[in-house]
Amino acid sequence: MPRPPLPTIVHLDADAFFVSCELARRPELRGKRCAVGGGPQRGIISSASYEARAVGVYTPMPTARALRVCPDLILLPHDNEHYAKTSQAMFDLCETVTPLVQRNSIDEGYLDLGPCACASVAAVEAKVRGLVARIWEELQIPVSIGIGTSLLVSQIASKLRKPRGFVTVPVGEEAAFLAPLPIEQLPGIGKKTAEEVKARGLRTIGDVVRKTDSALAGILGRDWRQVAAWARGIDTRAVETERAAPKSYSQQETFLEDRAFGDFEDIERGLKRMLDELLVKLRADGKRARTLTVKVRYPDFTNSSHAQSLPEPSDLERPFYPLVGDLLRAAWTRRRQPLRLVSVRLSGLTEGPAQLDLFTSANEAKHRHLAAVVDRLNANGKKPRVYHGYDL
C-alpha cells in the first residue's frame, strides 16, 4: 500500500544566532542580558539574548539606546568569521540527515525529509529532534523548528514558539493552523499593508479564506490570488539546493522595525559590514567582482535597487566602500517611506585574485597585504583592531 502523505518540509531557525555563538564560547553568560553589537558610542545591536529582549532591547536598536534601556546589558563584539564557521557546521549537520538542504541565510534554512522515507509523522519528528539534539550537543546552538507540507507553513510554524520551539502542522490541517494567526504573518503583508487591510476586515489569515474572490481583489489588488493561496497553506515552491559555483555573492538584513531615512548612516554602516563579510568569502574563493548592487525593500514588499560597476574587478573593500552610500540613496527612491530590508550583492565575477605587477600602485599593494593579514587573523580567531577599513 502507498504510504500516506507526511509533512516533510522543515524550517530550521537558530535562536538569537550571533548571541548563541558567543554564549557557546562563554557559557557563564547564559541567562544574562547580552547583545552583539557596536561600541557604546555608535553602531547597532545585531543580536540580543531573550533575557535582553524581555526588557526592551531589540535588533537593530542603536547601541547607545540599548544601554539606556538596559544599563546592565553585556555587549559582545561581532565576530563574523566565527559565526560563518558555526553556520557552516550547523548546515553540515543538517546534510547528515537529508541531502535536500536550502540555506536561506547564516542562521536559517529548509530541509526536505522526503528522501528519508519516514513511515509516520512520529518518525519525521524523531529524525528532526535528533538533529536538534546534535546541533546543541556539538555546537551549543539552540534552534526552533517548524514542520509542514510547504516552505510557507513550516517557516511560519518555526516562529511561533521561539526560543527552542518545535511545531508540526499535520497534512490537511494547514488552513486551520493558519486561520487564527494575524494577517501580517503572511508574506507580502508588511506593517503598513497590514494596517490598511485590517481596516477593511482582514485581521487574521482566516479572514482571507472567508472573503469572496471579488472582495479580496478589491482589498489586495492584483496579488490577491497569491495571498489567498498562502492563506490556505498552498505553496508549491520546493527546497532548492545550490551546488554550482555562485554567480554572485549577496547578503541581506531584515529589520525588526522599519527604518526611516533618518537612520541612513546606521543603515549604510550595516551595508558596509555585510560587504566586508562578502569580500572575505570572495577572496577565500579566489574571485573578484566588478558590480555592486544595493537593494531596499519597503513595508509593502516592493523592492528598488541600484548598481554600479568598477572599471576593473576587485576583491578589496577600498574601491567598493565609496559606492555604498550613493547606491543606497539611489535605491531609496521613496524617501518618505521606511525600509523593511536592505541587501548588498557582488556580481560580474572573475576567477583569480588581481595580480600585482610593476604598474600596481604601492597603495593598492599595501591594502591587498592588509586584507590578507586581517583575513588570516580572523580565520585564526584573533580580533584585529582594524577590520577592512573600519576602526572598531
Query: Which residues are annotated as part of the binding site?
Result: 13, 107
What φ, ψ does residue 145 adopt, rounded to 5°?
-125, 140
C-alpha 48: how far from chain center: 15
Cα gap 108→53, rounded to integer Å:
20
Q: Which three cell numbers stand for residue 376?
A: 588570516
Given the C-alpha cell 469572496, which residue does it identify?
212
Three-class DSSP category at 228: helix
In angstroms, the CA 46 to CA 181 distance is 27
Neighbours of 194 (CB within 10 A): 19
Q: Where is the binding site for Mg(2+), in residues?
A: 13, 107
Q: What does residue 28 show for φ and ψ, rounded to 5 degrees?
A: -65, -15
Note whether 142 and 18 are within 8 A (CB). no
Specify whether the CB–CB gap between 58 and 255 falls below 8 A: no
State the catalytic residues: 108
Comparing CA positions, the residue from 343, 176, 116 lying closest to residue 250 is 343
- CB under 8 Å to 22, separation ≥6 — which residues? 29, 34, 36, 76, 79
Tell me whether the omega of the peptide bond preceding residue 77 falls within 30 degrees of 0, making it cis: no
For cell 482571507, name the residue. 208
Q: How far apart are CA 207 and CA 181, in angstroms?
A: 10
User: What is the full DSSP assignment across 354-379?
Assistant: PPP-TTS-HHHHHHHHHHHHHHHHHH
- Identify whether the C-beta of residue 210 lies closer than 8 Å to the C-beta of residue 231: no
Helices 80-94 and 17-25: crossing angle in degrees, nearest 10, is 100
